[in-house]
Amino acid sequence: MESLGVSGRNRNTRATRSRPGAAPQHVVDTLQNLVAGLGDQRDKMSYGRYLLPRVIDRVELEAMYRTNWLARKVVDIPATDMTREWVTLQTCMQADALEPMYRLEQALNVRAKVRDALAWARLYGGAVLFINVHGQDPSLPFDPASVMPGSRLSLTVLDRWRVALGSGQMDQDPLSETYGQPRCYQIAGSVERVDRSRMIAFSGAELPWEAFRGNGYWHDSVLQAMYNALSRYDTATQGTASMFFEAVVDVLRISGLSDTLSSDQGTQEVHKRFQLAAMMKSFNRMLLLDAKDEYTQKTNHFSGVKEVIEQFMMDISGAADIPATRLFGQSPKGMNATGDSDIRNYYDRIKAQQEDELRPVLRVLYAVLFRASVGECPQDLEIQFNSLWQMSETERASIEKLRAERDQIYLAHGVIGPDVPCAELLEQKTYSNLTERDVRLAAELSQAMEPPDVLPVVETTAPASNT
């Protein structure tokens, strides 16, 4: 294998000094290899290679999730954060007309079902959300337009081990939109097949195509890639806890101990003697020893252990792609450190995942919910993910003050009417007792009122330049 560095210069020099008429020879070693021994048989790093890992089976994944708090948080935190603040629906429909849909959404517990599907996909490598319309044949393709007001719906979360891919049912047409995806699923314990259009698939840690196919057309658990990091952290913390038993060790030097222990009776006497001595010994009691016995204490120090464990914590945080302030709940370190930048970067990543993973899912779900509740899905429906960053009361009050000053300026210049800021206050839920009736009343008053005196606009000209 050719190494970089000064190899080009080395090859040119040797080719120039070759015999006239001889073909240049390609030299695969370099000056760096010859002098430093890098990349040759003496370089131990040249023998390192990555091998395919042992795939964690379902039993071990569940054991990790149930017994290891870090593994559980790595699985749950992103799924919880992706659904924590949920969404805001933007449409021209009146709020009263949306109430039946909101009631159906709460009855089906949509947000919790989506969160569970995300979590089980992260744990097992995949999960599906089964949209069941009672009275319809699940083996047939699903048409949202077939859902009528009053239709009975149910949403069921199934992890990858509770569904099986139909034998020979993978879409092998490279020109198809569903290429590489199953045409149908089979629920465990049932012989009935379910068309893929009735299943919303969620993925774990995505795999390349060949690995994905070798894994039974499922992706990896998010715990697979960080298995070693979790194992190292557990080993370090458990080892540190065991070291505390050796923090202070009592050392007794007894004359003739070896001879005494050579017999069973002597062994029992020594054991009984020092068991009693250990029971009597404390900071405010005495220790009885023979005149020839010597007693000392050996204290072990654990300097450097804290730094090692903290490094393992950072490894897990990086492997999970979750800030340590969120994963471990520890305060930021360093001068003027607040952790805000880490959290903001993490929230930006969650926002991107919401757009890539959740938005297509919610489009399908809300299309079904609207048709089952109000009869049709609004054409202008927009789904906006609410911000994960929660402002403090001081920050919120400061922003409200700036908005109020802005509205006051626009009102004074006749740019907007009173109904515009009133509608914005209703949308942002600034006042809990503000209703749409108040907004309509403000609009009527705005039309009935005479336009305010517009403040004159003072035109300014730049001073003439002296140059």
pLDDT of residue 11 exceeding 50, the answer is no
37-46, 116-125, 149-158: segment of lowest average pLDDT: 37-46
Average of pLDDT values for 232-248?
85
pLDDT of residue 217 exceeding 80, the answer is yes
Residue 9's pLDDT is 43
40-49, 207-216, 321-330, 440-449: segment of lowest average pLDDT: 40-49
- Which one has a higher pLDDT value, 45 or 193? 193
130-139, 151-160, 340-349, 353-362: segment of lowest average pLDDT: 340-349
Distance of alpha carbon 41 from alpha carbon 33, whole angstroms: 10
Distance of alpha carbon 259 from alpha carbon 467, whole angstroms: 109
Report in angstroms the alpha-carbon separations of 115 from 71, 112, 188, 369.
Answer: 17, 5, 22, 18
First to last CA, the chain: 67
Average of pLDDT values for 396-415?
86
Residue 10's pLDDT is 44
- The model's pLDDT over 177-187, given as tens digits with 9 standing for 90+, comes to 888 888 899 99
pLDDT of residue 283 exceeding 60, the answer is no
Q: How confident is the model at residue 420 (pLDDT cuts 50, 70, 90)?
A: confident
pLDDT of residue 51 exceeding 50, the answer is yes
19-28, 36-45, 229-238, 434-443: segment of lowest average pLDDT: 19-28
Residue 166's pLDDT is 64
Residue 84's pLDDT is 95
pLDDT of residue 158 exceeding 70, the answer is yes
220-224, 355-359, 370-374, 424-428: segment of lowest average pLDDT: 424-428
5-9, 322-326, 369-373: segment of lowest average pLDDT: 5-9
- Residue 72: φ, ψ to 5°: -65, -40
Average pLDDT, the chain: 83
Please check whether residue 191 is in contact with residue 146, taking contact to mean a CB–CB distance below 8 angstroms: no
- The model's pLDDT over 173-210, given as tens digits with 9 standing for 90+, comes to 888 888 888 889 999 888 888 999 999 999 999 999 99
Helix (H) or strand (E) run with residue 87 in it: strand 87-90
- Residue 163: φ, ψ to 5°: -135, 150
Percent of the chain topping pLDDT 70: 84
Residue 262's pLDDT is 86
Average of pLDDT values for 144-168?
89
pLDDT of residue 64 exceeding 90, the answer is yes
pLDDT of residue 14 exceeding 50, the answer is no
Structure tokens at 91: 């449409």
Q: Which of 400, 417, 389, 410 is nearest to 455 (CA)?
A: 410
Question: Which residue do the tokens 């008053």 mark?
Answer: 445
- Residue 456: φ, ψ to 5°: -65, 145
Q: How confident is the model at residue 15 (pLDDT cuts 50, 70, 90)?
A: very low
Percent of the chain topping pLDDT 90: 41
Please check whether residue 452 is in contact with residue 411, taking contact to mean a CB–CB distance below 8 angstroms: yes
Q: How confident is the model at residue 227 (pLDDT cuts 50, 70, 90)?
A: very high
Q: How confident is the model at residue 374 (pLDDT cuts 50, 70, 90)?
A: very high
Cβ partners under 8 Å of residue 54, min gap 6? none
